[in-house]
Amino acid sequence: MNPRESARAPLVLPGIQGRTALVTGGSRGIGRAAAVWLARAGAHVGIGYRADSEAASRALSEIRQVTSDREPWAESADLATEEGVSVLFARVDREFNGKLDILVANAGIWNAAPRPLVDMESDEWRAMLDANLTSVYLTTRSAARRMEEGGRIILVSSTAAQRGEAGHSHYAASKGAVQSLVKSVAVELGGQGITVNAVAPGWVDTDMTAVVLRGAERDRVQREIPLGRIASPADVAGPIIFLASDLARHMTGEVLNVNGGSVLCG
């Protein structure tokens, strides 16, 4: 089996076949990879995206290549707003009959250019927290209201939440808050049989990080990763799918580090 065929082969993980799944930020990068892997495992997948309809169309085409009986869908929405989340979940209700089994809350932003805290304007701070934290709160709340026992919520955090990131304090703060949210909501929803976990990627080769990782800094970044390479989106999608499956049914409130060991280095 060549790599292209392998990427399209069905995945056999208990507890995903026939389930409904929503992936935010699903048109590119980690979200796109997670959506494809969920479809390979037999889920009926919808994706949320902000504005790039061409990227969303490409993601849907890739999902269709791995599933034949469940038509994927995409909805454009600004998840940092109540209105945008209402639009997305109105589509969830239409497509999934008001029930959601799996949420992957991946939508978020990161600015490549460093911005020291002393130079940061208040609107920059608010924009980052709205995109990375308020959106997760609103999306998780709406998803939880539609979940029953066996529901899975997976939030995408970052290694920056644990080690900080100089020049990107607003980003690190937003992702640290996501990890605290995971632990709180895991306790709140545990009695309903719903698990809430997170993955914390390090550097991942995506469009969002291209300015750094496809330039002169790539070699330096790789040298700081014990495994010696930068993650692909699929490297993060694997742990996400694990958390969405019944293999992780007794895990909740956890944060899985997916960073090649970089958090272990100074």
Distance of CA 54 to the CA centre of its chain: 20
Cβ-contact 245, 12 below 8 angstroms: no
Q: Of these residues, 155, 171, 177, 252, which one is catalytic?
A: 171
Long-range contacts at 1-9 (CB < 8 A, ≥ 24 apart): 7/66, 8/40, 8/65, 8/66, 9/40
171 catalytic per annotation: yes
CA distance 240 to 231: 14
Task: At 105, give phi and psi (nearest 5°).
Answer: -90, 95
CA distance 161 to 177: 8
Q: Which of 172, 174, 154, 171 is nearest to 163 (CA)?
A: 172
Q: Which of 153, 155, 148 is nearest to 191 (CA)?
A: 148
Please identify every residue annotated as catalytic: 171
